[in-house]
Structure 1
Amino acid sequence: MGKTQKLEQIAYLHIKDQILSENWKTGFHIVEAFISEDLDISRSPIRAALSKLAEEGFVDMIPYRGFFVSETPPEEDYVAHRLRYELVICYRMLDHMIKQRVKGEKFADQLNEKVTNVRFAYDEKRFEDFYNTSEALLIAILNIGNHPFLVNEAIECSGTVMTAILNKYTDENPSEFIYDMYPFMIYLGDLVRLITENRFNDARVLFEVIINYLKIQLPKDTQVAFDNMNTYRLA
């Protein structure tokens, strides 16, 4: 998959996220220049993404006026969408790290400290602390790619997904949490190791492993919805 396709993908998922979250309501005029600035990409992939969204019924294209949010956009599993969007943002941030020739070892102390915080929260079986420390670690990793807008988008997506997952656990019976979250915690530590060793392509694979592990913690309907999202899916 070439670079242009990846940029179409990030634009597609960003625009869809604004619609599904109702940040952009019916009739909202979608301005390509604003998206271009936020995502730091040219307008061509944005237009391609909008054309695809028009085919799917999320937006309407009005000649000589532009693209507008449809009156009745299709329904879609919001958690599944946000899990997919989070994965694609993580891919994009790794691309930024490679392009910027980041030296991952410079961030080793900072990232390892945050991994320790995640492990402590896990050992103490504190669901809220586990959520917060995991989020802090994700922010620290993605911030290395130096794109604040996408980092914020990723954190919003992560919050939606992790809330959906952690809501199923109870303080009275944390045994399922201990069993389910152990691999996730280990994967996070492995991800930090790969980043600090400048193994960004391997980190890309591990991000996919992590996202798929989170997927199987979600309801079956959401898992199916995630797997059926083939549009602009990375090979």
Structure 2
Amino acid sequence: MFKGSARLAGENNKEYSYRVIKEGIMSLKLRPGQAISEVELADALQISRTPIREVMGKLREEHLVEVLPQVGSYISKIKPQLIEEAAFMRYTLEKEIMKMACDSFPEDKLRELKRNVALQEEIIERKATDGLAFHKLDTKFHSIIFQGNNKEHVWDAITRLSTHYNRMRVLSEMENSFYTAFIEHKNIIKVIEEKDIEHVEEVVHTHILKPTKNWGKLYQPDSPYADYFDLSYKMPIFQ
């Protein structure tokens, strides 16, 4: 059964349960399609059911938990449609934010990006397999770019739509490696630092859209992850 991590300083029961349950979902330790119980979660985290019930409602809003009447609650399967929509949103908006960054970007935020990438490199050098740790740094990397252009609320909106997209990134990176994303992040920094606006579209396309071309094989019938996906929405994805 799912086990919670240590409580952070100052976390109340609701904050704690939301963080650890969502981390379990995003790291795929709570598998897509897996049945979950408020009672079992409360027992695992050693808290009452009330905050768990509130957290489950929030996770439903984020498309991470589904409730089937008379059946039970499940971790939402990954929906390629939601991945495609999030990738479209990220590509469209990150192109523009990168152009703004090439025009003007605070030095302290540039240093923060470089520190972030240095931490990514440490994970790679340790040959760590913790996809969630790398993913947290990846997410923070992009949030810094939006913060540097005073568009952090835009990033928040992207994050809310990207829960299925981000699980797919974690799955893909677990199956392959973090190294490609790390190199692409270094290229993004180089474009910002050199104010190389002509290469913005290329680096953003390479980082966000190009990887999706290989994701389709992960939900084919012969994939070990086929059961992770909800393919009920019939449309061309990742073509």
**TM-score scaled by length of structure 2:** 0.52
Gaps spanning 5+ residues in structure 2: where?
A: 1-59, 63-78, 220-230
In the alignment, the residues of structure 2 paired with residue 226 and residue 216 of structure 1 have an alpha-carbon distance, to the nearest angstrom, of: 5
> In the alignment, what sits opposite 2:75?
none
Report what 1:188 is aligned to.
Answer: 185
Q: In the TM superposition, what is the alpha-carbon distance from 1:115 to its structure 2 partner?
A: 0.5
- The answer to whether residue 154 in structure 2 is matched with residue 141 in structure 1 is no
CA distance in 2, matches of 1:140, 1:195: 12
Matched to 1:118, the amino acid is: Q
1:105 deviates by 4.8
Query: Tell me, which stretches of 5 or more residues in structure 1 are unaligned?
Result: 1-20, 24-74, 228-235
* Corresponding residue for residue 177 of structure 1: 176
User: Structure 1, residues 206-225: CA drift from partner, whole Å, max 9, x if none?
Assistant: 01111123313422589942
Q: State the partner residue of 2:129.
A: 125
Q: CA deviation at 1:143?
A: 1.7
2: CA distance between counterparts of 1:224 and 1:141?
31
Percent identity for Structure 1 against Structure 2: 11
Q: Does 1:163 align with 2:167?
A: yes
CA distance in 1, matches of 2:192, 2:237: 30
Would the aligned equivalents of 1:83 and 1:161 in 2 still touch at CA under 8 Å?
Answer: yes
Q: Distance in 1 between matches of 2:156 and 2:176?
A: 27
Q: Structure 1 residue 197 and structure 2 residue 209: aligned?
A: no
Change (3 A) 1:76 1:114: closer
Residues 215 and 238 in structure 2, CA contact (< 8 A), matched pair in contact too: no
Aligned residues: 147
TM-score, scaled to structure 1 = 0.53
* Structure 1 contact 82–158 (Cα < 8 Å) conserved: yes
Aligned to 1:153: 157
- Cα deviation code 1:30-64 (max 9, x no counterpart): xxxxxxxxxxxxxxxxxxxxxxxxxxxxxxxxxxx
1:114 is matched with which residue? 116
Distance 1:198 1:224, change over 3 A: same
